[in-house]
Amino acid sequence: MNSITALLYGSDRPGIVARVAGWIHERGSNVLHADQHLDRQENVFFQRVEWECSLGSDPVEEGTAFQEMVQSELSMTVRIGYHNDRPKIGVMVSKADHCLHDLALRVRSGEWNAELTGVLSNHRDLEDISASYQLPFHYFNLTSENKKEEEAKQIQWIRDQKIELLVLARYMQILSKDFLVNVGCPVINIHHSFLPSFAGAKPYHQAYTRGVKLIGATAHYVTEDLDEGPIIGQDVNRVSHRHGPKDLIEKGRDLEKLVLSTAVRRHLQNRVLVYQNKTVVFD
């Protein structure tokens, strides 16, 4: 199937849906899915549309022509994805292994049309696990004194491998502003709390001290503001006074895996639009 997915947003005006559908119909192509949202407060229109190209047409040529039409006629921002896209994913980890296992197994099983290219870490703890999935492992001895130099090496590897998505799978380091400016791809992080509550270090211990009855996990795009990037997905689990920090950590691991994998899948399927530090996520 030669299908194209477009994500577009811009100022609302009459006729956007009709023009998009009409343009696809004029090319002899067929709409498979379409979804839209209007932010009435900001007067911004968002749409995700997926269509199958007509027999014999070039999807890349058609996608480029659609992008030009949307930009010139509708004055909207647009991003294009193709059915046969196979993005390269890089994973950054520290010592916790549960998210790495989950991501690697999903890619290996063919659940996602993506390539897991390698693992970057500031510890050697997960080197053997990476090898068990035939994933190249790259260790960086990060310290406060050499962080700039080591991050430059990480960025060089990411760029050399043409990584299109970087996933922080419990990577317990704060990425510098220079790293985020130069990395050249989106970065998704899993934070082990229901943000904006308990940002920063040891959120499960913070939650236990506060006596919460719900713990959560949050997947978000990374920005230079710590744990404040656009949220892609969240989930929660009930706890009680009987659960200590160790219990909260154990319960949280399942949440972290599910929330992170869901966010990565939505990103890979071109279902996430970022706007003003928020996201519109199309189901």
Specify the DSSP element, H or E, that contains 167: strand 165-168
Query: Which residue carries 């890979």 as its tokens?
Result: 268
Residues in CB range of 59: below 8 A, 6 or more apart: 2, 3, 4, 53, 82, 83
Distances (CA, A) of 179 to 33, 148, 151, 166, 186: 37, 9, 7, 12, 12
Q: Of the candidates 112, 119, 149, 155, which has an alpha carbon nearest to the alpha carbon of residue 134?
A: 119
Instruction: Residue count of the chain, please give it.
Output: 283
**Which pair of tokens denotes residue 108?**
């290996």
Q: Which residues of 179-211 are buried (b: 16+ CB within 10 A; e: fewer)?
A: bbeebeeebbbbbbbbbeebeeeebbebbbeee
Specify the DSSP element, H or E, that contains 273: strand 272-275
**Active site residues per annotation:** 227
Tally the C-alpha atoms within 13 A of residue 90's C-alpha that lie toward its C-beta: 24
Determine the Cα angle at 98 with ends 230 and 211, to 5°. Answer: 65
